[in-house]
Chains A and B, each alone.
Chain A
Amino acid sequence: MKIFPFILLFVISCSKSISPVDSGFENQIMHIANGSEPQGLDPHIVTGVPEHRLITSLCEGLVITNPKGGPNLPGAAESWDISDDGLVYTFHLQPLAKWSNGEEVTAEDFVWSWMRILTPSLGSQYPDMLYYVKNAAAYHMGEINDFSLVGIKALNSKTLEITLEQPYSFFLKILSHYSTYAVPKNVVLAHGSIDDRNGAWTRPGNFVCNGPMQLKSWELNKSIVAEKNPYYWDAEKVTLNEMHFYPIVNESTEDRMFRAGQLHATYSVPQEKCPVYIKENNPNLRIDPYVGVYFYRINTQNPVLKDKRIRQALAYSIDREQIVKRVSQCGQSPADSFTPPGIDGYFPDTQIPFDPELAAQLLTEAGFPAGEGFPKLEILFNTQEGHRKIALAVQQMWQKYLGIEVELVNTDWKVYLSREMVGDFQISRAGWIGDYEDPNTFLDLMRPNRGNNKTGWENEKYDELIIKANAQSNQENRYAVLREAEKLLIDEMPVLPIYIYVRQFLLSTDVKGWDPNPTDTHHPKFITLER
């Protein structure tokens, strides 16, 4: 029993320690929850949002995402020229651009890096980001073996020339995506070959890149610490000394850590907490726009669902307003289009009405008056409480307004993906986050032979419209054609858009410069800790 006073003393002594947020403010060290443990730090191999956040702090592409949204800003490239025909981009690299080991960043580094991501044996999952470049797809598919035929050339150590297959007005947007970043050739080759997925160059002590921060330490499932990179070309602007990224998958854990002063920013907010924080006007709650759409895929190969009228009936009988108000409850907006409105000035003019009468009429026209004889529908979703609640709401709406029987099927993530992949579903939950800030990242998805289409819907006219739009050099004309394509998509309804995503998270009031932007990219040089 004599041990208890000591335990008490120990516990009391703990309470005197200063919280990480307070000490972080004094030392300019930011503590950030970062979702799951990152797969790695190799920009050519990883995929995923946690990796995106880390890599955009540690490395820099030719351009960087504008922190307030809009046109990209200069990154590793100081400026660029675009030929009149929109085919040739000439980038002038920052004269002071260096790798974090002090070596110069050269145009040749970019050429080698793009050769690396297009090398088939590397098994990169993002080579298609470069398919817009002349002969890049052919090289990746093995149709040509001479990389000098690919449209990327170093004119001199600081000038890079890129030639496209055809003019793509959104090409600059793509270049802020990490898959287009350069990696340090010498360092990568010192730890493996060009196509070595398992090379040790990304380990602490070996890792070299050209971003505002550099890798200091990486403890698996614990934290990744990035410190200020003194060789960064714009190091003067960087005020943060360190960024600590914590892999936290449990939303409740990060919520508690934030409340205990252990985090400046959480990755998300527990769904049940969001309406509470909104109600009490929590000053730390941030609900920012995000280029993402939550939707249901329809398997158009299904004998019943191949009828457009049935797909429309399903869409028109979902009260999306009620779903965002009563179910998701965290500032999402009901979707009236597949592409979130406002991406780089693109506003689709489609409407998805909530009209149960019209829906019932369409179902009757399709041969199922009041749902009679309609086979039981299955909604497939991966196990997660949020998805289940939405599926339940949709199930009730369809039963109430259309009189059809709906069954909910939830599976583990990988089972769900594999069933979707082989078309073993009728309706399946889905979400899509844009890779870059342009409507193409959404509308391209639904073209025939796109792996992520998964609905079996193939429409030649739609495909022609997308091709036609991307050939337009004038942005207004291009958007007009894309709006036409969007209208066709919403009329055909192979997907049922439900709501437009938002990024909800908790942010300390100490953090300044963490501006809302559609791709949720936060370049460290714009972030400061102030009180």
Chain B
Amino acid sequence: MLILILRRLLVAIPVLIIVASITFFLIRLAPGGPFDSEKVVSPQVLKNLNEVYNLNAPVSEQYFDYMVNALQGDFGPSFRYPGRSVSEMILTGLPVTLELAMYAVLFATILGLIAGITAAVRKNTFLDYFPMALAMLGICMPTFLLGPLLLLLFGIELELLPVSGWGDLPGDKILPAITLGAAYAAYIARLARGGMLETLNQDYIRTARAKGLPEFKVVLVHAVRGGLIPVIAFMGPAIAGLIGGSFVVETIFQIPGLGRFYVEAAFNRDYTMILGTTIFFSALIIFFNLLSDLTIALFNPQARSS
């Protein structure tokens, strides 16, 4: 197990360097620069600005300087926000994004598992058809539609929950977590149903039933262990996706998370911010994939031995 972890971590380093290098050159190929604005600055001012941020140097030199600093954990200053470092901005937005993702995962997992397991156990009944139809709707409905719909209903019409903010007003975290988690709840429900159906047909389940175990024990102790492996495999990339894809929800609900920095950095050509957040999100994806593989290994002896 330890070797597996070490091997995966060692592979992660060149992956991150490649990601950083490709991003570094791609953003410089994009037309427009960080200091382009509707009010044109004079060539003199532009020259001064480029000097301040070392953009006058040859690209190879800029690349080398950046990589050396990045390897030491210094992602440089933000071009868009003078006086702020990229690391500082990532650390400001990260806790919010992580918290939002955590609530969304919690919501998705609880709802998805209840719906999925119930549907599998009560196959071809209303308790199967209804949650699965809802799940299909959840997968199809984009967050930019679900979010405003929930806001109009619970925020404006019923006046039960705030329509924006994060930690300012009571209950302002409920709707963003539901909006972000809904699609994942739907996936989890379908995966859990599929996995459970397959496991419930296995011989060892039949043996358990034959031995006279109560049905809830058969399902929750024996079947769940094998039936949820697809869900666990899905969780790693899903959590990374939740963190990286929270931009829409953060914008709709006015949440000061990392997703907004990431997308705005691209629009602003804030080179250092784009690079810093890309490297950071890549590292997160690698980490959660590793975590997911390790969890599968814990649940599945076959995977452990391979």
Contact = CB atoms under 8 A, between A and B. Distances in A.
B161 interface: yes
B38 A417 contact: yes
B148 A198 contact: no
Contacts of A20: 169
Contacts of B170: 13-14, 17
Interface string A189-206: 000000001111011000
Interface in A220-272: 220-222, 246, 248-250, 252-253, 256-257, 259-260, 262
- DSSP majority for the B interface? loop
A131 B174 CA distance: 54
Interface residues of A, number: 60
Contacts of B165: 262
A127 interface: yes
Contacts of A260: 155-156, 159, 162-164
Given A198-B77, A203-B83, A256-B155, A14 B160 contact: yes
Interface stretch (B5-13, B44-52, B187-195, B205-213): B44-52
Contacts of A203: 83
A421 B48 contact: no
A144 B228 CA distance: 75
Q: Indicate the member of B35, B92, B152, B256 with the most A CB atoms within 10 Å.
A: B256
A157 interface: no
A527 B252 CA distance: 29
B48 A120 contact: yes
A36 B33 CA distance: 19
B201 interface: no
Contacts of B267: 412-414
B82 interface: yes
B166 A121 contact: no
Interface in A1-54: 10-15, 17, 20, 36-37, 39-40, 42, 45-47
B44 A246 contact: no
A276 interface: no
A203 B82 CA distance: 11
B161 A11 contact: yes
A421 B36 contact: yes
Interface in B1-50: 30-33, 35-42, 44-45, 48-49
B249 to A, nearest CB: 11
A252 B148 contact: yes
Number of chain B interface residues as a range? 35 or more
A419 B261 CA distance: 25
Contacts of A13: 170
B160 A262 contact: no
Nearest to A452: B40
A259 B156 contact: yes
B80 interface: yes
A3 to B, nearest CB: 9
A250 B252 contact: yes
Contacts of B269: 414
Interface in A408-435: 412-415, 417-419, 421, 430-431
Given A123-B48, A431-B38, A40 B30 contact: no
A248 B37 contact: no
26 contacts: A11-B174, A13-B170, A14-B169, A15-B158, A37-B264, A39-B81, A120-B48, A124-B45, A125-B37, A125-B39, A125-B45, A197-B83, A202-B83, A203-B83, A219-B92, A222-B166, A253-B164, A256-B148, A256-B151, A256-B152, A256-B164, A259-B156, A262-B163, A417-B32, A421-B40, A451-B40
In the A-B complex, the 4 residue pairs with the closest CB atoms: A414-B32, A451-B40, A14-B171, A221-B256
Given A15-B159, A253-B163, A412-B32, 16 more contacts: A10-B171, A36-B264, A37-B81, A47-B37, A123-B48, A125-B39, A220-B84, A221-B261, A249-B251, A253-B252, A256-B152, A259-B163, A260-B159, A414-B267, A414-B269, A415-B32
